[in-house]
Structure 1
Amino acid sequence: MNTVFHPIRLAGLSLQNRLAMAPMTRSRARPDGSPSPLTACYYAQRAGLGLIISEGTQPSDEGQGYLATPGIYTDAHVAGWKQVTDAVHAQGGRIFIQLMHAGRMSHPDNTPRREPGVAPSAIAPGAGMFTATGMQPIPSPRALSTEQVRQTVQDFRHAARRAIEAGADGVEIHGANAYLVQQFLAPSANTRDDEYGGSIANRARFAIEVATAIAEEIGPDKTAIRLSPGLSLWGIDEGEQGPELYRYLVAELNKLGLAYLHIMHLGDEALLAELRSLWQGALILNRPGRPREQIGADIAAGLAELESYGAMVLANPDFVERLKLNAPLNEADKNSFYGGNEQGYTDYPTLRDAQPA
């Protein structure tokens, strides 16, 4: 456990510890997609972690999938995020904005253009989406043309530049959790016959081009990516070639000198060890549902430089202090995860709140 409290240098940044706040959608953005002052408070409360990775933030109108998620491509978005980054920095924290294009995981009712989502191929995920009128089935997406794929790469580039203008310390590409980047990786979602489909190299091309474009725009030391090898969710099936695909993808990404690789680990320990050996930079590891008593184990074992945590950080603004003192943790209120106001967002008590006046 003690190793997680050691400071570390990450891509030129001094982090006060090796704990990261995992990206978590909270669906509390304003109608125009800009973060509110409440969002600034939420992240600033958690600035005691070494690194904050923001909620998924769409790089374009087409990238939105859910209700009330933030964007980072307009002047209003930049102004809203500037409040967030300033608040985090004022508390001594560091923050990367995660760029998330939902792809086919979208419903027209949730998006500015009121159109179905876009994807590698016109294949519906077979899932539902929460909208203002309740759960609705997700319609078949619009298949991107080759030129539209290239434009989407440029949308990511533009959003990364805007994130830096907003004061972010860097950006994390969301290449996991069944969203657009992973849709390109999975044969179940990608049946293209151009240079973005078919072979492993072709299916990995979009992820590599996005990472390359962003690294060119803002610098590789401000560019990171999150992957979830082997994820089976919302119709995503990477098939028997999945491990080979990730070995190829990680080796190619390693050549770019990115700030870090963030892996949501789903249990294939042999593959994780292989990816660790292929990746020469910093690795952040997330094990969903990991119990408290195992915090720090992957850092101690040399598998990762940082570990990221979600719900425990959501419910405990003073997460690091509680770990140091071996103090009890607040339980997360799942009913307030998505949407709403300060309840279940900025009102979780800290240890200091519990002290008598």
Structure 2
Amino acid sequence: MPQSFTGESDESDHIVARLEDPLEIGGVELPNRLYRAPLLECAGNGEDSVETLLRELEPAAESGVGLICQGATIVRGEGGCAAPGMTRVHDPAFVSRLSRLTDAVHDHGSRIFVQLEHGGLRSMETWHAGYRAENPELRQLAVSRPPAVLRLLDRVGFLDYDPHVLSTAEVYDLAADFGRSAEYAVEAGYDGIHIAGANMGIVQQFLSPFYNRRDDEFGGSLAARTRFLEVVYDEIRERVGPDVPVVTKVPAETTAPAFVRRHLSLADGIRICERLADVGFDALVPVQASVFWDASIVRGAFPARAWRDERFRDGYGEAFGSKPRAALVALLNWLQSLKYDFDPAWNRPFTRRVSSRVSVPVLAEGGIRTRAQIDRLLAEGACDAVGMGRPFYAEPRLPARLLESPNAAVACENCNNCTVPQATGARGVCRTPSVLAKRGELRESGAYDRPGNPDREES
């Protein structure tokens, strides 16, 4: 399998689906096969949270996207947030207010799923110095005692671990929290539930032999390590019934550093997907990942502009403990960017193999940037739907272009200047002048216009 994927067409390809074709996931029909992948909307739980989500998500629906996956929302009332600004969905009174968002999405003919998560060892109480100082009583939820390399980072003061290892009963309690949050979301009009099974959150920590050293029913074999996700599924099903789609990301830790010997191989990831399809999950999102929260998540250029931006310098210092420590994090970010350069459609080897093994829809995301790539992925049966993340920061109304033009390519330059400021609580928006200029040109040319949905100026 080539490492690069440009998306050129081949006359021998047999088109089994088109981007404009509808897709059914667990009884819910999507109007097309393009979706907005989960991103950090930075909406929080304040008085303006719903307005923030409307501002961030409604433009995708207005411009014709088939599905919006609202980014990671936390299933408990304290702890568990991997970054500032995450929304919590543990409170039914708050979640009920989100019906304004789901109604707006439905009015435009799109569907919306909510992604449920808990960060576990990846939570802010581990890495965000200011948050730790404000919440000294918070402990990370841990699947097992942290691996030796993480304990070393704790000893040298780079991270701060005071983990609480979940008992067997507490694992079931956490799964029940996923179920309750799913129930609140469905009552608020969400069409489906998306589990954050990768990006080093607690679900991946259960799946991964790097993190999971348990000796109860949730640890040991691959089947046992998958059990937490199966219990989460059962809890959700019990509360929302059989007609609400339940989707999950599934990791293969193929980008783990060489010194990490215990991790999920590509074969492990495929076996997990097969098992989850048999359990009843309605769609799967296979992603290649690391065991660490590193640049393999957002491959591309080093975000030099973001690190130099004076607007965020104080925020970086608060997050990482001081400005010199923030400079060290920036150096590590630069070193990681050398290894994880941009690779078009980097999850394709995984999604293609899973697609040949399971009967449920397989969703692909990660480095898909042109309509030609989308058409090729669908034509070869590598997936059933295609998601994009960061390009929506650059072009909130991107679907209008991708759905209309076979030659469309995103304006996003994979520079990652949108992601680093999120450590300070800043919005996930594009700030790169060349990309903003391109978006302005496209807007002026009417590229984002759709009948009945004239383009509006973006905030």
Match among 143, 148, 173 for residue 120 of structure 1:
143
Quick check: 1:184–1:206 contact (8 Å CA) kept in 2? yes
Query: Contact between 2:80 and 2:124, CA under 8 Å: does it hold in 1?
Result: no
CA contact (8 A) 1:37 1:83 kept: no
Q: Is 1:253 aligned with 2:334? A: no
Matched residue, 2:209: 187
Work out which of the residue numbers 101, 104, 109 in structure 1 matches 2:118.
101
In structure 1, what residue type is equivalent to 2:426? G
Change over 3 Å in CA distance of 1:321–1:97 after alignment to 2: same
2:54 is aligned with 1:40: yes
Tell me the equivalent position of 1:275: 354
2:237 to 208, 215, 226: 215
- Cα distance, 1:196–1:89 mapped onto 2, change above 3 Å: same
Match of 2:377 in 1: 298
What is the DSSP-based 3-state SS (H/G/I as helix, E as strand, rest coil) of the residue aligned with 1:317? coil
Deviations 1:138-190 (A, max 9, x none): 42422111111110111111111011012100111111111101101112111
Supply the distance in 1 between the matched residues of 2:259 and 2:55 (Cα, whole angstroms).
35
Query: What is the one-letter code of the residue matched to 2:228?
Result: F
Letter of the 1:149 partner, please give it.
V
**Match for residue 364 of structure 2 among 274, 279, 285:** 285
Report deviation, 1:30.
Answer: 3.5
Q: Equivalent residues in 2 for 1:123-202 (5 A)?
A: 123=146, 126=150, 137-202=159-224
Cα distance in 2, alignment partners of residues 241 and 55 from structure 1? 24
Larger Cα Rg: Structure 1 or Structure 2? 2
Structure 2 Cα separation of the partners of residues 193 and 59 of structure 1: 26
The residue aligned with 2:29 is 14
- Measured against aligned partners, the alpha-carbon deviations of 1:321-343 in whole angstroms (never above 9, x if no partner) come to 21223456433784444233696
Q: Deviations over 1:182-219 (max 9, x none)?
A: 10111211111111111222111111111222123213
Take 2:230 and 2:80, find their aligned partners in 1: how far apart are those partners?
18
1:69 CA drift (Å): 0.3
* Structure 1 CA distance for aligned equivalents of residues 355 and 395 of structure 2: 30
Which consecutive residues of structure 1, in runs of 5 or more, have no partner in the other structure?
128-134
RMSD: 3.4
Alignment match, 2:41: 26
Query: Alignment partner for residue 108 of structure 2, among 85, 91, 95?
Result: 91
Alpha-carbon distance in structure 1 between the residues aligned to 2:284 and 2:73: 18
* From 319, 333, 340, the counterpart of 2:426: 340
Q: 1:56 aligns with which of 61, 72, 90?
A: 72
Amino acid at match of 1:54: Q
Query: Residue 122 of structure 2 aligns to a residue in which SS?
Result: coil
Residue 349 of structure 1 deviates from its aligned partner by: 5.5
- The SS at the match of 1:63 is coil
CA distance in 2, matches of 1:234, 1:164: 39
Measured after TM superposition, the shift of residue 76 of structure 1 is 4.1
Give deviations 1:227-268, integer Å, cap 9, x for gaps.
Answer: 121254699968366345334422221123332111224658
Tell me the amino acid that sits aligned with residue 40 of structure 1.
L
Q: Structure 1 CA distance, aligned partners of 2:164 and 2:263? A: 27
- Go from structure 1 to structure 2 and tell me whether the alpha carbon gap of 1:312 and 1:60 turns closer, same or farther (over 3 Å shift): same
Match of 1:131 in 2: none
Alpha-carbon distance change, 232 to 126 in structure 1, aligned in 2, over 3 angstroms: farther
The answer as to whether partners of 1:123 and 1:140 remain within 8 angstroms in 2 is no
Shift of 1:79: 3.3
Matched, 1:68 2:85: yes
CA distance in 1, matches of 2:255, 2:162: 19
Distance 1:185 1:11 in 2: 24
Q: 1:237 to 1:181 in 2, by over 3 A?
A: farther
The verdict on how the C-alpha distance between 1:317 and 1:140 changes in structure 2, with shifts beyond 3 A counting, is same
1:330 aligns with 2:411: yes
In structure 2, list runs of 5 or more residues that go unmatched.
1-8, 10-16, 126-130, 152-156, 290-345, 447-454
**So what's the TM-score if we normalise by structure 2?**
0.67
Partner of 1:132: none
Tell me the distance in 1 between the aligned counterparts of 2:195 and 2:202. 11
Q: 2:253–2:263: 8 Å Cα contact kept in structure 1?
A: no
Separation in structure 2 between the aligned mates of residue 242 and residue 234 of structure 1, nearest angstrom: 12
Report how far residue 270 of structure 1 moved: 6.2
- Does structure 1 conserve the Cα–Cα contact (< 8 Å) formed by 2:253 and 2:264? no
Alignment: residue pair count: 348
CA distance in 1, matches of 2:66, 2:106: 12
1:27-80 deviation per Cα after TM superposition (whole angstroms, max 9, x unaligned): 232458x83302112211001211111100111134323211001110343134
What letter matches 2:400 in structure 1? E
Tell me whether 191-200 or 91-100 shows the greater mean CA deviation.
191-200
Helix, strand or coil for the counterpart of 1:43? helix
If the length of structure 1 is used for normalisation, what is the TM-score? Answer: 0.84
